[in-house]
Amino acid sequence: MQKPKFFILNCSDAANCCDKKEYNEASIREKTSIIIHNLFCKKCRDYSAKNSKLTQLIKKARIKACTSEEKRDIKEKLKQEISKQGSSSS
């Protein structure tokens, strides 16, 4: 009979846990598993480091999404510019 492998992850599962950890969605078991996996796997350790750095940079950038109204205004301006270019090239 095989023993359960509670804290053993393959690299694909480790990457998934790493992503969940960055968004605070990982369970304690997943966080522990990724720590153990990263002790033995350099590629996943590098992936985790890059993922953490990317998350920090995004938070630091203070990216703001456009409101629906701003999106509508941009689309309208684009349509106007396209129609100007279409009529001037004819």
8-47 pLDDT, tens digit each: 889 999 999 999 998 899 999 999 999 999 999 999 999 9
* pLDDT recorded at residue 5: 60
Q: Could you tell me the residue ranges of all domains in the chain? A: 11-88
Interatomic CA distance for residues 16 and 37, integer angstroms = 12
**pLDDT tens figures, 38-67:** 999 999 999 999 999 999 998 899 888 899
34 contacts 9 by C-beta, under 8 angstroms: yes
Alpha-carbon distance of 14 to 28, in angstroms, equals: 14
pLDDT band at 6 (very low <50, low <70, confident <90, very high): low
Q: What pLDDT is stored for residue 40 in this prediction?
A: 92
